[in-house]
Amino acid sequence: MTEQDLEKQLAEINRKLDLVTNQLALQQRRQREAQELKEDLGRIATDVFQTAVVELDEVAHHFDASDLWYLGKKLLRNVRNLARTLDQLESANDFFQDAKPIAREAFFDLLYTLDELDRKGYFAFFSELLKVLDRVVTSFTVDDVRLLGENIVTILTTVRNLTQPDMLEAINNAVSVYKNLTISVEQEISYRRLLKEFRTPEMRRGLAFGIQFLKNLAANENKSADGTELTEADTEELAHAN
């Protein structure tokens, strides 16, 4: 064996020794880390155990080992119920996942509708309407509202009578006549001229209408004073008489 072969064998032996040394160092480091982890876990377990002892000591008089057994048996008896509950939760979750796009679309539609209402002035209108309502509330007392409730039937009846087609037509005619009416009265008018005016057909019809209107008004007041309400037939009779 030559000297060169001996050097190769020594180099191979040194390489293997280095490998063994590295493996031993790695093993020692792992053992040291495991030991440190064990010590850390031991300290944590000790702290957890001591904390658990303190916490459980506070509920010791509320808890017994039999309660734990009872809870275990209760869970075992209701495994199927728990499984059904979990299935229902999964179904509800699937429903929520499916409903998300629909809810998002409905939310955007609602925003679009609210924006359109705002552009049309609905919110401003209702804001002013609330101000009007506030003025009404602050201007009237509770007694006024109670009196309004007691007389609401009479008010609605009056409104209904005023909104009849013939009544609306009569009011419209009266307003039109008043708008187009031009009256000029001279400073001095003789009785002779007044008597002459009484002979005109327009004056006679006007006097007849006024007399008939006053008669019907007096009849209506007499019936109200007697405590009897006007029936629909009486109302029609008065309307035809007018």
**pLDDT for 198:** 73
Distances (CA, A) of 158 to 112, 151, 164, 233, 234: 43, 11, 10, 16, 15
Total count of domains within the chain: 4
Q: What is the 3-state secondary structure (H, E, C) of 68-87?
A: HHHHHHHHHHCHHHHHHHHH
Residues of the chain with pLDDT under 70: 1, 63, 178, 180-187, 220-242
CA distance 105 to 99: 10
The tens digit of pLDDT for each residue in 197-241 reads 777 887 778 788 788 877 877 776 666 555 554 454 554 554 444
Residue 27 lies in a domain: yes
Residue 103 lies in a domain: yes
**pLDDT for 227:** 52
**pLDDT for 51:** 86
**pLDDT for 241:** 46
Q: Is there a single domain that holds both residue 192 and residue 242?
A: yes
Residues near 57 by Cβ (< 8 Å), separated by ≥ 6? none
Residue 237: domain span: 188-242
Q: Is there a single domain that holds both residue 217 and residue 241?
A: yes
Check: pTM over 0.75? Answer yes or no. no
Residue 113 lies in a domain: yes
**pLDDT for 171:** 82
CA distance 217 to 222: 9
CA distance 80 to 97: 25
* CA trace torsion 13, 18, 22, 28 (10° rounding): 80
Q: Is there a single domain that holds both residue 157 and residue 169?
A: yes
* CA trace torsion 112, 114, 117, 122 (10° rounding): -170
Residue 195 lies in a domain: yes
Residue 197 lies in a domain: yes
Residue 66 lies in a domain: no
Asked if 241 and 212 touch (Cβ cutoff 8 Å), the reply is yes
Q: Is there a single domain that holds both residue 180 and residue 217?
A: no
Distances (CA, A) of 15 to 2, 28, 66: 20, 20, 66
Q: Is there a single domain that holds both residue 180 and residue 192?
A: no
Q: Is there a single domain that holds both residue 192 and residue 209?
A: yes
Residue 234 lies in a domain: yes
Q: Is there a single domain that holds both residue 131 and residue 148?
A: no
Residue 67 lies in a domain: no
